[in-house]
Amino acid sequence: MLGGRSRLNPEVGPELTEPETLRSEDGALQVRLEAVAGRLRIAGREATAYGYNGGVPGPTLRLRPGDRLQIQLVNRLDAPTNLHVHGLHVSPEGNGDNVFITVAPGESFDYDYRLPEDHPPGVFWYHPHHHGTVADQLFGGLYGAIVVEDVDALPVARERVLVVSDISLDAAGRLRQPSTMERMMGREGELVLLNGQVRPILTARPGERERWRVVNACTSRYVRLRLDGQQLDLLGIDSGRHAQPRRVEEIVLAAGNRADLLVTTAAGTGTLQALGVDRGGMGGMMGGSVSGDVGPLATLEVAGAEAAAPGPVPQQRLRDLRGVEVAERRRLTFDMGMGGGMGGGMGPGGMSFTIDGREFDPHRVDQAVLVGAVEEWVIANTSPMAHPMHLHVWPMQIVAEGGRLLDDVRWQDVVNIPAGGEVTVRVAFDDFSGRTVYHCHILDHEDNGMMGIVEAGRQ
């Protein structure tokens, strides 16, 4: 998949590069992000695509709990856009993480986010969220990472930010538009990138511990990551953390998920593989399935003198909502089928994409909640495809999968709902009032109606 079917002839095997890093100082970070369309460098070649500040990915923003982040978003595109800070626990109102804002071509908007003092550390990201154009703009190159630092740094030799994305380009490097079937199933690009590169090379010494912050910025693709011959320990998915790092052989990231990984290196050459994940198909409606191995994503070359053993990773204290009184229980059902849902919309190929039988309506509140309340949501999926459900502003604690209670504490802001399955989560609607959204993070599905509005109010 890495260039195998791509019409563009990519440069393969360069040394890994990372996006520009912008760090907060004295509790504040001010950033100007220009969303541009034009000639950019992708996979070592000139391409006509989108990018923030001329790069794919855009700059990495590094913050600390309690910081103030101010972003001036300048729209140099020929379509409306806006900005979503995915996973950050910040206000959805006004100039905050407000997805109802429209920034017209040639205009700008000043976002202003204030992270709580107890904001969880982890890897987050930013991307457009103007309804109807999200899939096109992210697929074209508009995304970047956000890191919220630990209060006490972990003992590692180095950190790497690794953004996985995909794109389809023709031989001249121009964006290829998805077919109707690709939009129905969720487009997957012909070229899979790591930090905008194809199969880059990473180098390290034996015995080093690295921290890899991995973002799945693909529009629809799930990835199953393996790094055979090296020790992988998972700190957590999204903003969630385990009490102690967990040894893993592989991790699965749905579209929008992130992983915080520790890699302890051993001498030799290892390949970071992105293997396929079957996320379902159209079932009996029109056949087909969606899965497939990507193949090598990067090469890790480990050589040289053995490094000193790293220090221990401190244990994490975890919040657990399972013993908390629940104010409300709700059931949400994700579905897709032929014909428009309630609301009269019609997606690609005559397909409807609904939650509780309704397509997105920006003027309708689907779930009204109270600030400070803890709720339990059962999220069901009656369709033949998996749907990764993302809730803005408030992370979710997964308490059951397929009716089976979990025996660990697991926090995520993107939760995969398998085809024909259901997942139970608990949400603490802490701190903020206002309207925001929950939706499928297969962004073609979101753009075509699989999204709802939640409004948090005060008594």
Q: How many CB atoms lie within 10 A of CB 224?
A: 16
| Percent share of the chain, pLDDT over 70 | 94
Q: How far apart are CA 113 and CA 186, in angstroms?
A: 31
At position 90, the amino acid (one-letter code) is V
**Which of 148, 183, 214 lies at the terminal end of a domain, its last residue?**
148
Rounded to two decimals, the pTM is 0.95
When pLDDT is cut at 50, 70 and 90, the band that residue 290 belongs to is: low
* 148, 176, 206 - which closes a domain: 148
The two structure tokens encoding residue 33: 């992000």
Strand, helix or coil at 444? Answer: helix
Say yes or no to pLDDT of 168 above 70: yes
Strands 60-63, 68-76: pairing kind? unpaired
- 91 backbone dihedrals φ, ψ, rounded to 5°: -65, 140
Q: Is the pLDDT of residue 86 over 80?
A: yes
CB 435 within 8 A of CB 455: yes
What average pLDDT does this structure show over 371-381?
A: 98
| 2 phi, psi to nearest 5 deg | -75, 80
Contact 406, 98 (CB under 8 A): no
Claim to verify: residue 174 and residue 294 sit in the same structural domain: yes
- Residue 185: partners with Cβ closer than 8 Å, 6 or more residues away: 220, 281, 282, 288, 290, 385, 444
Q: Domain of 271: which CATH number?
A: 2.60.40.420
Residues 333, 189, 217, 164, CA torsion sign: positive
> Closest Cα to residue 216, out of 412, 360, 48?
412
* Residue 41, domain member (yes or no): yes
Domain that holds residue 123: 21-148
Question: Do 179 and 271 fall within a single domain?
Answer: yes
Based on the fold, state whether residues 418 and 284 are members of the same structural domain: no
As a whole number, the mean pLDDT across the chain is 93
Residue 238: in which H helix or E strand, if any?
none
Whether residue 423 sits in one domain with residue 348: yes
pLDDT score for 1: 42
Last residue of a domain, which of 302, 318, 353? 302
* 335-360: average pLDDT: 77
Q: Maximum Cα–Cα distance for the chain, whole Å?
A: 65
What does the alpha-carbon distance between residue 79 and residue 69 come to, in Å, rounded to a whole number?
25
Question: pLDDT band at 390, cuts 50/70/90?
Answer: very high
Rg (CA), the chain: 21
Helix (H, G, I), strand (E, B) or coil at 326: coil
Residues 139 and 168 in one domain: no
My answer on whether 250 and 165 are in the same domain is yes
Find residue 268's DSSP bridge partners: 302
For the stretch 108-124, pLDDT in tens is 999 999 999 999 999 99
Report the pLDDT value the prediction gives residue 346, as an integer from 0 to 100.
55
Give the sheet arrangement for strand 201-204, strand by strand. 201-204, 295-302, 268-275, 223-227, 250-253
Provide CB contacts within 8 A for 394, sequence distance 6+.
89, 427, 428, 429, 430
Looking at the domain assignment, is residue 319 inside a domain?
no
- Give a yes or no: residue 334 inside a domain: yes
Range of lowest pLDDT (44-58, 284-298, 352-366): 284-298
Distance between CA 290 and CA 287 in Å, rounded?
10
Domain assignment of residue 307, yes or no: no
**Co-location of 120 and 93 in the same domain:** yes
Q: Which pLDDT does position 92 carry in this prediction?
A: 98
Residue 314 belongs to a domain: no
For residues 443 and 349, membership in a common domain is answered with yes
Is there a single domain that holds both residue 162 and residue 279?
Answer: yes
In a domain, 4, yes or no: no
**Both 100 and 170 in a single domain?**
no
Instruction: Extract the tokens encoding 89.
Output: 């626990």
Please indicate, yes or no, whether residues 280 and 412 belong to a single structural domain of this protein.
no
311 in a structural domain: no
> Running DSSP on this structure, what letter comes out for residue 348?
G
pLDDT in tens, 21-33: 999 999 999 999 9
Report the alpha-carbon distance of residue 218 to residue 255 in Å, rounded: 6
DSSP at 385: B
Bond preceding residue 128 cis, omega within 30 of 0: no
Task: Using DSSP bridges, classify how beta strands 367-370 and 451-457 pair: parallel, antiparallel or unpaired.
Answer: parallel
Judgement on whether residues 141 and 182 belong to the same structural domain of the protein = no
pLDDT of residue 5: 55
- Structurally, the chain folds into a number of domains equal to 3
Question: How far is 251 from 229, CA to CA, in rounded Å?
Answer: 15
Taking only the tens place, the pLDDT of each residue in 412-456 is 999 999 999 999 999 999 999 999 999 999 999 999 999 999 999
**Do the domain assignments include residue 15?**
no
